[in-house]
Amino acid sequence: MNPVSLQLFDVLLLLSIVGLAWASLASPDDRRSVILFMALGLLLALAWGRLLAPDVALAEAAIGAGLSGALLLAALREQPRREAPGATEAVAKRGSSPLQAMTQWVVTLLCAGLAGILGWVLMHIFAGPPLDRLTQAVSANLGVSGVSNPVTAVLLNFRGYDTLLELAVLLTAVLGILALGPGRAGYQPAGPIFDALARSLAPLLILVSAYLLWVGAHAPGGAFQAGATLAAAGVVLRLAGRQRIGLPPEGALRLVMAAGVGLFLAVGLSLLLLGRPFLGYPPAWAGALILVIESAAMLSIAATLVLAFIGGRLPAHGIPAAEPATRRREAITTAAAPERGGEEQSGC
């Protein structure tokens, strides 16, 4: 690969990213800002791929660009309709008094100073020897971790405790969202074209998410990307007018949401009872345990992100158009449950 052309690509990509970020932040209109942010997310996925981080690129494309964008657009929908552009006042138009102008200058200088200090520290780090201690520890222990993808090994085995807490953060966020009341307004039933697209996209997305979960053990992928893809299937179905999008009824839904953290904790605590350290998988069962934990985490993440998009509690009964999707989703959940139960029995 020609190094000069790679540097040219880097410069162009970074200029576009900074330009898009600034355009998104400084745009007079909130709607434009959100759409530019989604475009920024896609360019960032490209940048993460260039930095040889394919897992992160997949997650950025699915979660950062896709689901964050969908969440922002759903929140935009609730804003009272303002016909005049620039009605959401940017800071520059609002600050006419000298005190406000001075505040803006002080904040700008402080942010620039912070960036300067951070940049200086980073240059010092790069000038020194490469920080390889953890990399060597990971490659030395990859054989007993149960998977061959180093990022999955770090996430689910070596730093599994962080992932447990992250799933707890997700659960906390969704509990907060559910506590705020009924969800956002639904969408009208889709016309024939969009309906056909939704019907063909949803099974494809479910298949892709199962594949991402499975392949995460030895190639870029994993529970988070899979959960986000599954949540995308739910978002598409909701946009096509199905109100309950085949989510299980209230009690089972809570079980699914808590299953990510719950299963992870259960595995960790039962390992404690067996005399091993907390979340210290025995090398022979590490692969199977990781797959089990990842499956529960995937369903949990998907349910959480879809409920975050809906914005609150679901109505108790869906409209009749929801039924085919309900049967499909419940079929997948009940098919996954005996599979999980079987693997746990063979593990213990």
Partner 1 sequence: MLTAQVLYALTGCLIMALGLRTALLHASLLRRVVAINVMGTGVFMILLAIAYRGPGLAPDPVPHALVLTGIVVAVSATALALALAPERGTRR
Partner 2 sequence: MIDVVSSLLIVAGVGFYLAGSIGLLRLPELYARLHALTKADNLGLGLLTAGLMLQSPDLLYALKLLLIWLAVLAASATSAHLIARHARRREKRP
- Residues near partner 2, by CB under 8 A: 191, 193-194, 197, 200-201, 204
Alpha-carbon span 124 to 114, nearest angstrom: 16
Q: Which does 162 bind (CB under 5 to 8 A by kind): partner 1, partner 2, none?
A: partner 1
Provide the minimum distance between the beta carbon of 88 and partner 1 in the complex, in angstroms, as a whole number: 4
Under rule CB under 8 A, residue 209 binds partner 1: no
Minimum CB separation of residue 197 from partner 2 in Å reads 5
Considering only CA atoms, which of 142, 322, 197 is closest in space to residue 248? 322
Residue 209: count of CB within 10 angstroms of its CB: 25
User: Looking at the DSSP assignment, which residues form a beta bridge with residue 182?
Assistant: 313
Enumerate residues 253-312 that contact partner 1 by CB under 8 A. Answer: 301, 304-305, 308-309, 311-312
Indicate which of partner 1, partner 2, none lies near residue 333 (CB less than 5 to 8 Å, by partner kind). none
Do the Cβ atoms of 69 and 37 come closer than 8 Å?
A: yes
Considering only residues 179 through 208, tell me which ones interact with partner 1, judged by CB under 8 A.
Answer: 180, 185
Among partner 1, partner 2, none, what binds residue 118 when CB lies within 5 to 8 Å by partner kind? partner 1
CB 257 within 8 A of CB 304: yes
Contacts of 329 (CB under 8 A, 6+ apart): 245, 246, 247, 248
The amino acid that residue 313 corresponds to is: R
When CB distances are held under 5 to 8 angstroms depending on the partner's kind, the choice from partner 1, partner 2, none that residue 71 binds is: partner 1
Q: How far is the CB of 140 from partner 1 (least distance, A)?
A: 13
CA distance 319 to 282: 48
Among 101, 102, 118, 272, binds partner 1 (CB under 8 A): 118
Alpha-carbon gap, residue 50 to 183, rounded angstroms: 39
Nearer to partner 2, 200 or 270 (CB): 200
The interface partner of residue 155, options being partner 1, partner 2, none and the CB cut-off 5 to 8 Å by kind, is partner 1
For residue 214, the partner it binds in partner 1, partner 2, none, with Cβ less than 5 to 8 A by kind, is none
**How many angstroms separate the CA atoms of 55 and 221, rounded?**
6
x-or-dash pattern for partner 1, window 120-139, by CB under 8 A?
Answer: --xx-xxx--xxx-xx--x-
Q: Which of residues 77-96 bind partner 1 (CB under 8 A)?
A: 77-81, 88-91, 94
Helices 286-310, 223-239: inter-axial angle, 10-degree rounding? 30
Q: Which does 204 bind (CB under 5 to 8 A by kind): partner 2, partner 1, none?
A: partner 2
- Which candidate, 153, 163, 157, 155, places its Cα nearest to that of 260? 163
Q: 100 — alpha (psi -120 to 50), left (phi > 0) or beta?
A: alpha
When the beta carbons of 6 and 91 are compared against partner 2, the nearer one is: 6
For partner 1, the binding residue among 12, 76, 272, 319 (CB under 8 A) is 76
Per CB under 8 A, 60 contacts partner 1: yes
